[in-house]
Each structure stands twice: as structure tokens, then as C-alpha cells.
Structure 1
Amino acid sequence: MLAPDDAMEMNATGKDVFAARKPVKRYRHPFVMALTVAICAIVLLPVATLAIIALSGTGEDWPHLARNVLPGATLTTLYLLAMVSVGTATIGVATAWLVVGYDFPLRPFFSWALVLPLAVPPYLAAYAFGEFFLFSGPVQSALRALFGFASPQQYWFPEIRSTGGAAFVLTCVLYPYVYLTSRVVFLMQGRNIADVARTLGARPAKVFFRVLLPVARPAIGAGVALVLMETINDIGASEFLGVRTLTTAVFTTWINRSSLEGAAQLALVMLVLVLLLLAAEQFARRRQRFHNVRATQLKARPPRVRLSVPGQIVALVAVTLPVLFGFGVPLLVFGQYASRRLDYLLNADLAEAFVNSIFTASAAALLTVTLALLLINAVRLSRSRLTGGLVRIGSVGYALPGTIMGLGLLFALARLDNTVDHFARETFGVSTGLLLTGSAAAVILACTIRFLALAEGAVRSGMEKLPPHLDEAARSLGKTPARSAALVLLPLLQPAILTALVLVFVDTVKELSATILLRPFGFNTLATLVYENASRAVVEDGAVAALLIIVTATVPVILLSRALARDRAASM
């Protein structure tokens, strides 16, 4: 019998050693396919409801929207997407390779600290940066004191309330998506690729750009795709900074013009845009699949280069600035506000909102990652275009603004509850009432639909680094597909699974728009408590809850980063 390592070797021609033997039986898995279809149907439920709402309108608002709203909002959205994608990709990939590939002071600390901006919601970051860069804020005040300026006419300072300012804010808090997916891939690459390139005389910079960067391209694409969808969905930061994107146009059409049908029509335009982005990401990643040769090398730690003193200074600056802007500035601003109302920490409403946030985020994270694993495993088992297309459909929930998606789900659940209640009355003479509408289960379901793409992208980036026939090798030794997945794939996917769990947990803690519509009466999360306090102009009370959101989201981020850290020194 072959040893497990030998079973996963490739011969010199690049073919499997199993090629000359009896091929492994391909399983059709009708149950897995049915489960995949069911998951996609649940994800499409609010989208279908939204389409029905859009088609039910008379269309009288569409000429105005097409002439005055859609062109400008679309161009602004595309401009914002371009800037944020370039910024997050540059920061995320560069910082990931610095902490994985090089040794410099405080490297272990920054390996997890670089994820901290993920705990800051974009709408809170926009408010913090607005206060920080105001004329009366610390930055401009220090600038005037340093150079003796007396008025803003005497100097130029970039305007934070602009499209460029919104791109800066979003980049500061969204780059960890790219950092996490890139870092996982760099950690999983092992020693061989970099070592072989260096033995051939390649310098570290050439190894990165010519070897490691192409290998990490699928994961980078997955991270950037998540950033783009998060940017499209943002409404709080864009609205506060005065940037009219498609999402803000949807919201203002619904609220200001009282046109739900027009808002739904604009949301469908956004859906088309996101589907095009997803298709472009898949097209860019075609045939870009790289795998380690031996399973024993999947957990090998990449070597790190000891930097010179100037290089260490540059590296420290490069990893400090993203943490400082993405996490330090919001923490400073909200910390100052919260310090004036420390007594609010003992408020019963705050404690209840905290418990509700932890419960909904934990449940949504577990459910979402479980469904993502099922979808990814379905693709791996069936290897059909149909299954791959169904999994892509599972990403559309992330394309819709939370308000519109929550509204579509609210109508769908209300119709379902009414149908069940009518059936129970006619058949059994009892009323079931509202089973899902206005319940915590509805909030969890909404977050699962919204963030399924988030979990699927993180798990897929890890799955694509595994040898394609790894589970087939296990099944050739008599293991069932389920057992081979549990014993072989899941342990190797642990970094990617942890990443997915934390991403969904953190985003659920920060989620606001869908929760406001779907929550039960009297059910508050930290995000809705911030919203209620802000609507009553109680800024300091809202700051305490906002700071608690950041702290709550920071804890799992730190735990994830420490779990993924590979700090043991490795020689060249």
C-alpha cells in the first residue's frame, strides 16, 4: 500500500500516479445537488420578491431616474469602486507579504493588528474621519499651529466629504478582506516555490512579483470582489460624506420620492452591476489554479527574510499607517466621546443589545459557514458547470443594499407566514400567527443570505490551494466522500474556515439596515442602538455603543489573527 505522501505525488510528466490505474469512481451525489438548489432558492427569495415589486410599478418614475439619477450615480459608483479596489489590493497584498515574508521589529504584533480595521463599520469610520479632518479637528489645528495659518484660504487641505474621501475611508476599513485572503494563501504556499526560485538566483522582489503574486492571484481576486460588493452595499459612509452612489440613490428614491418600485428597479440595476463584477472576477481567475505537490508541505512555514535597518523602518511605516488610520482614528474619536458617558456602560439596554448582537452574530456565522462549506464541497464533488453556476447564484444576496434586501425578505416571510396561517386555520382550526416575520430567526436568515458570499469566498480561496485529487486519494483507500472531507479537507481548511467565521461574525455585529426592518419589537442590537441614539441626537450615548461594536468585533479578529499566526523563525 502506498504511503499517503506517495499517494499524492505527481510524476515527472505532471500526471497523477493514479492515471495508470483504475480511475476513482465519480459520485453523482443527488442529495448534494438538491441541497445546493435549496440553498440557492433561499438566497433568491428576497431577490425574486424585489423583482416582483419592481415589475409591479407603473414605470412613471423610470424616465426621471434614467435621465437624472442613474447616469451620475453609476459613474460615481464605478469611480469609487476603481479607487477602493486599487487601494485595498495594494495595501492588503503588500502588508500580507511583509508580515509573512520578512522579519522586522513588532512583526508578530502587526500580523494580527492589521486585521483590526475590520472591526470598524464604514459608517462609523466616516463619522470619525469627518470629525478628525474637520477645520476644527486635530489635523488641521496642528497644521495651522505649525505653519502659522489663520484661515483655510491660506492653505489647501483635501476635502473628506468627496468621492476621493469616501474611497479613502472605505479603503482604510476594507483592506483587511484582501489582507486576510492573501495572508492565508502566502502561509499555505510552503517553502518550495520561494526556495526553488531563490536557488535559481532570483532576488526576493522578483520572487514576489514573478512567482508568489501570480500564485496568490485567485485569493487576491476573491478578497477584492468582497471589497467591491461591500463598497456597493455601503450607504452610511457615502451618505454622510455626500457621495451619491447607486445605493444612496436607491435609498433616497424610496424615502424621498416614496417610490418603492423605483427603488427596487434601481436595486436591480445594482444587481446586474455586481453580477458583472463577479463574472469579471471569475474570468480573470480562469485557469489560475495552483496547488502544492505534497500534502506534507501544505502546512510548511514560508521562510522570512531579515531586513536591513532602513528596510525595517520602511516596513514598520508600511504596516503602521493602515492600522493607525483604519483603527486608531475611529477608536480615538469614539473613545473621547464615550469617556464622557462611562455611566452608560451599566445601562440595561446596552447590556441587552450586546447579548443580542453576540447571539445573532454567532448563529449567523455558524449557519453561513456551514452552507458555504456545503456549496464548495458540492462543486468539488460534482465538477459540473451547473453546480458552479448555482454556487455563483449564492453570492447575489451580497449584491443588494441591506435595506432593500431586508424589505424583500420581510415581504416574502410575511407572505409565507400568512400562507401557513391560512392553511392551519382551514385544516386544523388554529392560528399559527407570525412564525418568522419579526423574529430573531429572520435577522439571522437575512445575515446568512447577505454574507454567504463572504464565507464562500474565504473558504474557496483556501480550497483552491489544495491538490485537486486529494479527496480522491482518500476515497481510493476506502473512505466515503463525507468521511474524506471530514478527515482530510476540513483540517487543511482550518485557516480559511476560521477566516470565514470571523468575517461573517464581525459583519453581522456591524449590520444595521436589514436588522432595523426584520428585528422583533423591542429587540435591539448594538448597531440598532447606535442608530436610535443618533436619531435622537444623543451623540455621546451612541458613541458608547459604537465603541462597544468596535471592541466586540475586535476580539474575534484578534483570536483569528493569533490562530493564523506562524511566528516560529524560519531560515532561508
Structure 2
Amino acid sequence: MTDFPSRALRRPRAGWGLTCAALLVAGLCLLPIVAVGVAAILGDLDTVTQLARTVLPRYIGATLALVVLTGLGAALIGTGAAWLVAACDFPGRRWLEVLLVIPLAFPAYVLAYAYTHVLDFPGPVQTALRDLTGWGPRDYWFPEIRSLGGAAFVMTLTLYPYVYLLARAAFLLTGRRPFEVARSLGQGPWAAFARVSVPMARPAILAGVLLVAMEVIADYGTVAFFGVQTFATGIYTSWFTLADRAAAAQLALGLLAFALLLALTERMTRGRARFAPQTRSAEGRLPLRGSAGLLATFLCALPVALGAVLPTFALATMARRSEQDPFSPRYLDFLTNTVTLAAIAAVVTVAAAVLLGSRHRFAPDPAGRAALSVARLGYAVPGGVIAVGLLVPFGAFDNAIDAFMEATFGIDTGLLFTGSIWLLVLAYMIRFLAAAIGAYDGGLATVTHNVDAASRVLGAGVWATMRRVHLPVVRPAVATAALIVFVDVAKELPATLILRPFNFDTLAVQAHRLASDERLQGAAVPSLALALLGLIPVVVLMRRMRRSGL
């Protein structure tokens, strides 16, 4: 069968409807970024000047320290574990290769609650230590979990899978042959690993570390609970405690600039990544037996135990002792609110991803590429920044409508958009649209352009081709995108805290509230529910890893 000769048949024009819809989505994604910039420039500098003299250096120092410590920790754990499971054979490797992804299901603030219960002064570890030694409270030193180091510790345990997944894929692609060549030239195993294997996978490792850094600067729940003052907590304090929107916007602009710099660096790093694929089956794996094999098993099992097993056990113990009834009408309301928000946001976000992906598919022109690039910026923008960027313009819009209706008709309209569920859904769409676009584009890449041309010849337009051809074929990719967005929305905290309607709490908000009141045992109940929700896409990913062998 010959290919269709006409380029017009292979790639039909997208049409005004699809183009306008895609540009509208891109414009909404760009709105909070522009709004934060305008509000920061036009706002009064008095508060931010005062902050610069007092706490701003602390915000900058703590944020950078968290990024560096968590990035280094994630790089060490993720790269080391990825090399062991990709290039070596040791007891339990096949199971650990998959289980190393599980900590990704836990939000960092959930691990913060669990480890505070375990390691704090009244917790079981220090209590057992005092019982065994007879020491008093002032007779010994114990690391403080509620500190910057504690925040970096729990973030490392939940975020290292980003580095692990990318580094593992890179090591599988490059193969073990360069490592063996270095060994044959007299290099020791550690020298060959550090001088040959790691440099070849450096682009993937760096990309994973940058993803970790973007998650760190976006975190609010962990740093707020541990009392670490970062840009994220500063934005929340300026907005709610100081009631200064200009200062919040100015702090958000600083955090946004840092986030976009990280996103640009990650994009450039990923674009330069090049690997020379090898045949893994022909090379085999380096067998590790005896003490070396047991050590490899221990090193790979330790992150799983600390990042998933121990927190789950601690949370289950806390939940069993708490006075919270997960089946009470109050908790069912939290669950209903969480599922409702997540489901609506998943549908809206996936629909937006389909519009943008299809527009670029049918007409890959500069406008389509620009719309996709703008839409992908959301994954680099912290939820608190998006919340401030939406509240500023929509709050002004609400006030303008209310003033006009009051002056013209004597009607008090109140707040139509601010504090509504739809503004919160819009924030979720902007934040997680990049993940949905990636999943949808991956599925759409399996559909050849000849299929589009055949649909065009048979008289189907753009919308009919999307509905009757593309969506049925890429249904698994669409379902995966919806699942990812659903779980991410359920775990999202800063945007939900700022934008949620009055008396509309989710499981994440309830966990944060109880933990802030030092009711950690009560916080364990919604935290466990969030962990179970987060486990769903991780299980899907684990099954794909086992089936594909990658």
C-alpha cells in the first residue's frame, strides 16, 4: 500500500474551532504567570522591603538548602539503585527493581507526619532509648526531625524514584559493555562506575534531579509542618497572615522565576540526552553472590523500607489508636469532596490535553507548538504561585462585576469566581496539564498519519477524526492521563488551601489541619487514604515495568 502523496490529505487543517479552543487553554495556562508578574510590579514594595530586611534571606537560604540536600540525596539513592538493578544480578533483584518505585505514592507531608510520630521525643524510638539506657531528657542528643534536615530526609525518600526511573532507563540503554571495557583496562568497580557509567547517564540523572528540585520548591505541607521557612510558606503567610496580596505576588514571582529556570534547564538537558543502545540480553548482568549480593539487596531494600514500609506501619498504628472514624459522615464528606474535585479536574485536564495535542497533530505550526509549550509550563509552577496568580485577576473581575451590578441594578452579586470550585479546578488543570499532554501524545504517536489521511478521504472532519479514530485507539493513554491527574489532584495541598470554597475540605486539607494541631494520630487516617490513592498509578507503572521488561 503506497503512502498518500498529498500533504494536505495527510495533515488536514485543524479548523478555527479547534484552534480557538487550543489557544484558549494556552491563554488560561499563561494567565497566572502574567498576573503574578503584573501584580508584583504594580504592588507596594513596603512589605517585601521589610521582608527583605528580616525573613527573605532565610526564605532563600532554606529553599536553596532544601533543593541541594534533597537533590543530592535523590541522586545518590536513585542512581545507585538504578545501576544495581540494571547492571547487576543479586537476590531479590526482580522484585526490588519494581518495588523501588513505591515511595512515589506517598506525599512528602504524609511521610513527615509518620516520621515525626516515630522519631519525635515522645515517639517509640526515643522512648525505647530512654527505657533501655535510663537516660533523662537532657542526658542524650538525638537528631531533630522537625528541621531543615528532616524535611530534606522525607523529601528524598519520596522523590528519589524520579531519578531512579530515568537513570535506570539510561543504564539499560547504554548497557554494561562500557563498564566491562573500563574494568578490562584496569579500573576498579567503583572507578569504572564513577568514571564511565555515571557520565554516560548524566543527562538522565540531571533531568531527574531537576524534577526533584521542582517538586521541592513547590512543597508546602512538609516545610509548614516542620517549621522550615521557605518561599512556599512565605507566600502563604503574606497572603493569609499579613493580608498583603502585593507581597505574596512578589514572593510568588521570585519562586516562579526559580521554577522556570529549573524547567528550562531540565528541557535543555533532556534535549541534549543521547544514548547508544546496547543489547541487554546479549550482555547479561554482573552476578553478585555472597556478601556482595546481600549488600546489594540491603542497599536496594533500604529505600523501600524507609520510604514505604515503615511509614505505612507507623500510619496504620497511629490510625488504629486515633479517635477518627474513617466511615463517619464527616470523613465521607472529605472523601466525596476529594473524589469530586479529582474527577472533575481529571476530565477537564484530559479534555484540554486532547484539544492541544490534536491541534498540534493536525496543524504542527508555530501557533500549535507555542500553545503546547505554554501549557507544559504548569508542571514547573508551584501550586501556591498558580493560586495567587488566579486569585488576583479573578478577584478584581469579581469586584468589578459586583460594583457594576450594584450601581446599575442594585444587585449584590458577591464573588462569582473567587472561592468557587471551578477556580480550583482551573488551578489543577494548569498545574497538571503537562502530565496529561505527555500521556496523550505518547498514545497519539502510535497512530500513523496515513490513518488521518484515510479518515479525511472518507469525508470525516477534524472533530469526527478525533472522536471516531484517535480517541478509541488512544483510550489506554487517555485513561492513564486521567488516573495520573486524579491522584495528583487528590494529593495537592497549597493550591487547595488557598483556593478551596469555604467549608469545603479534602483529605489533604484535613490531614494538614490535624497535623498542624499536633493531632498526628488523627492525621494518620486521611494520610493513609491519600497513600492508597497514590498507590494506584504506581501499581499501574509497576505492572508495565514487569510486562515490558524495561
Structure 1 residue 271: Cα displacement:
0.9
Q: Residue 261 of structure 1: which of 246, 271, 281 is its match? A: 246
Structure 1 residue 33: Cα displacement:
6.2
Q: Cα deviations across residues 21-65 of structure 1 (Å, max 9, x unaligned)?
A: 999988885767655533321112223333343344322223223
Closer, same or farther: CA 110–134 of 1 in aligned 2, 3 Å: same
Q: For residues 412 and 60 of structure 2, what CA distance do their matches in structure 1 show?
A: 47
Q: Cα deviations across residues 407-436 of structure 1 (Å, max 9, x unaligned)?
A: 432444455567789999999999998665
Structure 1 residue 351: Cα displacement:
1.7
8 Å Cα contact 1:51/1:264 also seen in 2: yes
Q: Cα deviations across residues 170-203 of structure 1 (Å, max 9, x unaligned)?
A: 111112233344556677x5xxx63886998988
Closer, same or farther: CA 137–490 of 1 in aligned 2, 3 Å: farther
Gaps of 5+ in 1: 8-20
What residue number does 1:529 align with? 510
8 Å Cα contact 2:83/2:171 also seen in 1: yes
8 Å Cα contact 1:80/1:167 also seen in 2: yes
Q: Residue 298 of structure 2: which of 307, 312, 317 is its match? A: 317
Q: Is 1:556 paired with 2:537?
A: yes
Q: For residues 339 and 304 of structure 2, what CA distance do their matches in structure 1 show?
A: 25
Letter in 2 for 1:178: V
Q: Cα deviations across residues 322-343 of structure 1 (Å, max 9, x unaligned)?
A: 1222223332332222102476
What residue number does 2:285 align with? 305
Q: For residues 48 and 476 of structure 1, what CA distance do their matches in structure 2 show?
A: 37
Gaps of 5+ in 2: 457-461
Answer with 475-484 or 368-377: which moved more. Answer: 475-484
* Other structure's SS at 1:345 match: coil
What residue number does 2:160 align with? 175
Q: For residues 438 and 209 of structure 2, what CA distance do their matches in structure 1 show?
A: 10
8 Å Cα contact 2:487/2:534 also seen in 1: yes
8 Å Cα contact 1:364/1:447 also seen in 2: yes
Q: Is 1:127 paired with 2:113?
A: yes
8 Å Cα contact 1:118/1:506 also seen in 2: no
- Superposed CA RMSD in Å reads 4.9
8 Å Cα contact 2:204/2:270 also seen in 1: no
8 Å Cα contact 1:271/1:396 also seen in 2: no
Q: Residue 245 of structure 1: which of 230, 240, 247 is its match? A: 230
Q: For residues 499 and 85 of structure 1, what CA distance do their matches in structure 2 show?
A: 28
Letter in 2 for 1:252: T
* Other structure's SS at 1:344 match: coil
Closer, same or farther: CA 317–283 of 1 in aligned 2, 3 Å: same
What residue number does 1:88 align with? 74
8 Å Cα contact 1:338/1:541 also seen in 2: yes
8 Å Cα contact 1:122/1:173 also seen in 2: yes
Closer, same or farther: CA 379–285 of 1 in aligned 2, 3 Å: farther
What residue number does 1:150 align with? 135
Letter in 2 for 1:558: V
TM-score in terms of structure 1 length: 0.75
What residue number does 1:504 align with? 485
* Other structure's SS at 2:272 match: coil
Q: Residue 447 of structure 1: which of 428, 439, 443 is its match? A: 428
Q: For residues 200 and 365 of structure 2, what CA distance do their matches in structure 1 show?
A: 24
8 Å Cα contact 2:87/2:285 also seen in 1: yes
Letter in 2 for 1:132: V
Closer, same or farther: CA 112–503 of 1 in aligned 2, 3 Å: farther
What residue number does 2:337 align with? 356
Letter in 2 for 1:67: R
Report % sequence identity. Answer: 37
Q: For residues 543 and 252 of structure 2, what CA distance do their matches in structure 1 show?
A: 39
Closer, same or farther: CA 354–426 of 1 in aligned 2, 3 Å: same
What residue number does 1:541 align with? 522
After superposition, residues 40-189 of structure 1 pair within 5 angstroms as 40-143=26-129, 148=133, 150-151=135-136, 156-182=141-167, 189=173
Q: For residues 183 and 351 of structure 1, what CA distance do their matches in structure 2 show?
A: 40
Closer, same or farther: CA 555–493 of 1 in aligned 2, 3 Å: closer
Closer, same or farther: CA 199–339 of 1 in aligned 2, 3 Å: closer
Closer, same or farther: CA 200–29 of 1 in aligned 2, 3 Å: farther
Closer, same or farther: CA 369–105 of 1 in aligned 2, 3 Å: farther
Closer, same or farther: CA 441–212 of 1 in aligned 2, 3 Å: farther
